[in-house]
Amino acid sequence: MSLITRWIQLVRGQSRWTVISIPYLWMLLFFAVPFLIVLKISFAHKVVAIPPYTDLLEFVDQAVVMKLNLTNYFQLWADDKYWSAYLNSIQIAAVSTFLCLLIGYPMAYVIARLPSTTRNIALMAVILPSWISFLIRIYAWMGILQTNGLLNKFLLGIGLIDTPLRIMNTPTAAYIGIVYAYLPFMILPLYSNLVKLDFRLLEAAYDLGARPWKAFLTITLPLSRRGIVAGCMLVMIPAVGEYVIPELLGGPSTRMIGRQLANEFFVAGDWPMASAVAIVMLLLLMIPILIFNRMQAKELEGRLA
């Protein structure tokens, strides 16, 4: 074997390991390291210093001693306000995800059935609002949902209501904001799944006498299951930890865990407690991710069998 051939094989082998190592390096830098830092802070004590927490490792009598403070987690377990924030976050995220699915599925289905030229325009209409700053769009919703905002003026104008509705600073405003902000994350995975659907299956079902709703329930819905799961995860996971929308639209009555976490960090200055809140929230979010991965692994095993 010539030296050139050996060199080419060596480069190919290194390229393969380079390609494999990039995602692991990414996960190490942007997930594992920040997670370990936050986990470390969650076991510390709050102090008035810079940084505002104690070290875990101390040098005492020529020995290194590790002190793990579990008070933050016990307090998290005992205090009802944290439980309330977690449950409210899950409830708001679940309802918002369901609403996104109800609105997003028909939109994705219609876009997938459009001609290719019109389809691209429709997709651009879904993506285009995301080009504007997220904060500016939420501020725009504040103007729409105010008591003297555009929505109340419209409803008063058509005679549907006699007095302006109070929508701002209520959970309803938070639902509207979250559904609006995360709707594209539901539409796009559904569209990518539905556009691959073989519509000849539906035509065959119609030829055999199936009604449209039965063809949808027995063919379209099962075949789009992966898009539904992916869309629900893309909406629900970030919605659980949402902070900006509940803060600007929901008001004090909308208590979510992202807001509680920000209060611990920036108002109370209790970094260890805030880190404990973040760790528990992350563990809660890991549950749907593990379920999704398990479903994908089962499907892959079924295909290979």
Long-range contacts of 195-201, Cβ-Cβ distance < 8 Å, separation of 24 or more: 195/112, 195/119, 197/112, 197/223, 197/224, 199/113
- Token pair in block for residue 186: 């539901």
Domain containing 229 — which CATH number?
A: 1.10.3720.10
Inside any domain, residue 50: no
Number of domains making up the chain? 1
Q: Tell me the pLDDT tens digit for each residue of 273-282.
A: 999 999 999 8
Low-confidence ranges of the chain (pLDDT < 50): none
Range of the domain at 117: 79-269
Inside any domain, residue 56: no
Inside any domain, residue 100: yes
Q: Tell me the pLDDT tens digit for each residue of 168-217.
A: 999 999 999 999 999 999 999 999 999 988 888 888 988 888 888 999 99
State residue 60's pLDDT score: 78
State residue 154's pLDDT score: 92
Distance of CA 162 to the CA centre of its chain: 38
Cβ-Cβ contacts under 8 Å for 276 (sequence gap 6 or more): 42, 72, 73, 76
CA–CA separation, 129 and 151 (whole Å): 19
State residue 305's pLDDT score: 64
- Token pair in block for residue 119: 């389809």
Inside any domain, residue 302: no
Inside any domain, residue 95: yes
- Token pair in block for residue 140: 């725009």
CA nearest neighbour of 153 among 143, 16, 130: 143
State residue 294's pLDDT score: 80
Inside any domain, residue 115: yes
Distance of CA 214 to the CA centre of its chain: 32
First to last CA, the chain: 40
Inside any domain, residue 32: no
Inside any domain, residue 52: no
pTM listed for this prediction:
0.84
